[in-house]
């Protein structure tokens, strides 16, 4: 029962955090750097990362994060959560994405964009990937499988 509550809290937290990102005003984009050019593209939802597990969420399948080389972009995280990225910056593998009232820290490596949604009580990230990204070392489990794993602990 305790693990079911944790799982429900997890899903509700992800939905709440993501919903803060939907509305934004667009600013004048910065000129594209070589790093930004390389990072630019559309990343599709892959999994939620929590407790060292990649958890598939059917509700998020097909959701995208698009980074434009000019520092703008768009979030398409659901019908009620679409909007522009007002700005994003990259420094090595670290990315900061500004959309709506949210400022999200992320990492990008080899076509895998990991956006951190951790708080003091629950570390978690959302993983988005480009089509060509190699995800073979990132096996996805279902919510039910995750629930069984945490119940066993």
Contact 43, 88 (CB under 8 A): no
Note the pTM of the prediction, 2 decimals.
Answer: 0.80
- Number of separate domains in the chain: 1
How is residue 70 written in tokens?
Answer: 């000019």
Q: Is the CB of residue 23 less than 8 Å from the CB of residue 105? A: no
Range of the domain at 93: 2-152
Model pLDDT for residues 26-73, shown as the tens digit of each residue:
444 455 789 999 999 999 999 999 999 999 999 999 999 999 999 999
The residue with greater pLDDT, 119 or 137, is 137
Q: What is the CATH classification number for the domain harbouring 39?
A: 2.40.128
pLDDT digits (tens, 9 = 90+) for 92-136: 999 999 998 999 999 999 999 999 999 888 899 999 999 999 999
């Amino acid at each position: 029962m305790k693990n079911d509550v944790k799982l429900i809290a997890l899903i509700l937290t992800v939905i709440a955090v993501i919903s803060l990102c939907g509305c934004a005003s667009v600013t004048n984009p910065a000129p594209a750097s070589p790093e930004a050019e390389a990072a630019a593209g559309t990343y599709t939802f892959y999994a939620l990362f929590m407790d060292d597990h990649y958890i598939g969420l059917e509700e998020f399948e097909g959701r995208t994060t698009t980074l434009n080389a000019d520092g703008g972009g768009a979030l398409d995280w659901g019908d009620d959560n679409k909007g522009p990225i007002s700005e994003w910056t990259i420094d090595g593998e670290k990315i900061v994405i500004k959309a709506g009232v949210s400022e999200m820290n992320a990492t990008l490596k080899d076509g895998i964009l990991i956006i951190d949604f951790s708080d003091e009580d629950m570390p978690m990230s959302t993983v988005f990937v480009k089509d060509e990204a190699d995800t073979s070392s990132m096996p996805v489990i279902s919510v039910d499988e995750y629930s069984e794993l945490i119940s066993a602990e």
